[in-house]
Amino acid sequence: MQVIEQLKRMKEERFLHLYDSLAQDGFGPLDGEVANVLKFRPQMIRKVPMDKRARHARAILTRGANAELCYELFGSYLLKNAKDLVTGFLDKTGVPHKEGMIDDVENDTPAGDKVAAAVAELDKEFDPADVTLYLSLAAEQWPSVPEVDAAWQMRA
């Protein structure tokens, strides 16, 4: 569960940045779950400061080891804020996609021999923290490509 490990290693400020960047109309991406934990009505959660909501959301993900939800959160952040990073990795490693979306994840895998060079190029163009975040997703998504997991492990 690379995404859960990445979450555990992530600084609180970084998670707040991710969480806050996905907010819509004053609601964070996991505010429904946070409201449930705090026994708030969903619409009342907006009165709770975003940093407190983000701490609760992170705890929900970590305690439950909810890799699927964490994967979705990280993926949403990257597609919203660093889509060129996602598409760049896919292009550089030969994975067919449409705007970063892959039709056949099981069969359309990155070329292992291209991963290191792709990561080095992406590090020059994008925030290395975002590159590392993407690698945690890619390692989870493609366990059959050991070079992806190795690239993430070196950074994690």
pLDDT, one tens digit per residue, over 134-147 is 999 999 999 999 99
> What pLDDT digit, counting tens, does each position of 58-112 carry?
999 998 778 889 999 999 999 999 999 999 999 999 999 999 899 998 999 999 9
Domains of the chain: which residue ranges?
2-67, 82-155
Find the angle CA(4)-CA(54)-CA(14) to the nearest 5 degrees: 65
156 within 8 A of 6, measured Cβ to Cβ: yes
User: CA–CA separation, 33 vs 124, rounded Å?
Assistant: 37
Per-residue DSSP letter, 43: G
Query: Average pLDDT, stretch 24-39?
Result: 91
At residue 91, the pLDDT reads 97
At residue 42, the pLDDT reads 83
pTM for the whole structure = 0.90
